[in-house]
Amino acid sequence: MNSTTDVWQGHAGWHWSLPNGDSVFVAQQGAHVLSWQAQGKERLFLSPQSVCDGTTAIRGGIPVCFPQFNQRGNLPKHGFARNMPWRLVPERSQGASKIFELSANEHTLTLWPFQFKAFLTVNLSPNSLQISLSVENQGPQSLSFTGALHTYFAVDHIAQVSLQGQASQPEWDAVKDTHQTCADQLRFEAEFDRVYDANTQTQPTWTLQDGNASLQISQSESWGQSVVWNPGADKCAQLNDMPANGYQHMLCVEAARVTSSIEVPPAQTWVGWQLLKI
């Protein structure tokens, strides 16, 4: 299966599809998955007001946050990877699985003094999408980073959405700065920004229920944490790249490492993935 170069809401990138009609679009900027269509329905939220200039962060889809989560360091918010062009690696891509690469360069070294290669594998299969990030340390000293696959899911209306699967796991509410355990079922009636420590005994799995439709979200143990986020009405109104009602139609469920660093020794590779299933 060959991917075709294409444009999605003004963003240049690559598009490919399966015989059943499922498809995916990956932008050159950030190797950013902007669209995943399965069973005839768009599964990812992409803001219609997202800036399209090739360098400004794209609001929606699946941003790759690397090598920093949010503003927890001296780098640009969520790192530099999501704002830089990645290249398709055709010699390593097969069928409906495509691999994209970002390597250390003069610009990244001014921000983050480490030699690295990052690869994003986007694997499309019927009713399923797996995103895998690998980071190779090509330098003489260990490197450390935080980050996420910051997935924005499209929902019909946030008021009818629930999320479950991490009951009793440690939960940090970043809005209220409180610590507690995760409830059996999460609902979203206001700004929601919480970090969950992953269960080390099993691969963390969430079930997103949107009315009668459900979606399974799992991730590798190597991430260590999950983030669930919805800006709510007030914060959404402050975001220039979101419509005022945008919060009603999205929910972020992220495979992440937020409060501690991932360490990669010299000549070693770290891999973390997120798997989405209808």
Angstrom CA distances, 67 to 14, 23, 113, 118, stand at 24, 28, 11, 10
Could you tell me the two tokens for 233?
């009405």
pLDDT tens-digit series, residues 182-234: 999 999 999 999 999 975 556 678 999 999 999 999 999 999 999 999 999 99
The residues near 210 (Cβ < 8 Å, ≥ 6 apart) are 155, 156, 160, 161
Q: How many structural domains does the chain have?
A: 1
Please state which of the ranges 69-83, 118-132, 248-262 shows the lowest mean pLDDT: 69-83
pLDDT digits (tens, 9 = 90+) for 40-84: 999 999 999 998 888 899 999 999 999 999 888 888 889 999 999
- What local confidence, expressed as pLDDT, does residue 132 receive? 98
SS3 call for 181 = strand
pLDDT at residue number 1: 61
pTM of the prediction?
A: 0.96
The string of pLDDT tens digits covering residues 5-49 is: 889 888 999 999 999 999 999 999 999 999 999 999 999 999 999
Task: Give the CATH number of the domain where residue 94 resides.
Answer: 2.70.98.10
Q: pLDDT tens digits, residue range 137-169?
A: 999 999 999 999 999 999 999 999 999 998 889
> Quick one: which of 37, 41, 14 has its CA closest to 26?
14
- 276 or 3: which leads in pLDDT: 276
pLDDT exceeding 90 applies to what percent of the chain? Answer: 87
Q: What is the DSSP letter of 166?
A: -
Q: Do you know the residue count of the chain?
A: 278
Which structural domain range is residue 74 located in?
4-277
Q: State the catalytic residues.
A: 150, 254
